[in-house]
Structure 1
Amino acid sequence: MADDDAERTVEVELHGGPLDGWRVPVAAVDDDPWTAIVSDYGRYPGGRSLYAPDESGRWVWVRDLRWEEL
C-alpha cells in the first residue's frame, strides 16, 4: 500500500441508527472495515456509534458502544 493510499479519505453517508444521514470521512484503505464515531445521540451518550459497509458498500449502523468498549 502506498503512503498516499494510507492517508486518503472518502466521504460516506451513514444509514440507520442515531447518525442516519450524516456524511463522514473514512479511510479509503483500512484494515478495519468499520468506523466508530463519538456520539451523544446513541444509546450511550458520549459513547460511539459503530457503522460498517454492507455487501453493497452502503455504510449501515451496527450498534452503539460505551466509551470504554472500544
Structure 2
Amino acid sequence: MTLTLFGGPLDGFTAPVEIDDEDPWTAIISDGCAHPGGRSVYAPDAAGRWVWQKDVPRETL
C-alpha cells in the first residue's frame, strides 16, 4: 500500500509500505537523512499515520 509520510526529511512524500507486517516500519534512503547515504525510518503511530522515527546510518540495517 502507498501512504503519505509525516515528519522528518520525507514529510509529505508517499512511499509503499507493508501495513500487514507484525512489526511494521520502513527505512527509506533520504537526501535529508542525518547520515550521508543513510535511511530515514518511518512507522505507524497509534492513529495509523506513518511518522518519522529516526535516521540511521546505511550500515545499521
Who is 2:17 aligned against? Answer: 26
CA displacement at 1:40 relative to structure 2: 1.8
Give the partner amino acid of 1:47. Answer: G
Give the aligned length: 61
The reply on whether 1:53 has 2:44 as its aligned counterpart is yes
User: SS of 1:14's equivalent?
Assistant: strand
Query: 2 CA distance for matches of 1:11 and 1:39?
Result: 17
1-structure distance, mates of 2:20, 2:26:
12
- TM normalised by structure 1 equals 0.80
| Rounded Cα–Cα distance in structure 2 between residues aligned with 1:49 and 1:63 | 6
Q: Is the 8 A contact 2:28 2:41 kept in 1?
A: yes
TM-score with structure 2 setting the length: 0.91
1:44 maps to a residue whose letter is H
> Deviation above 3 Å: which 4+ runs of structure 1?
none
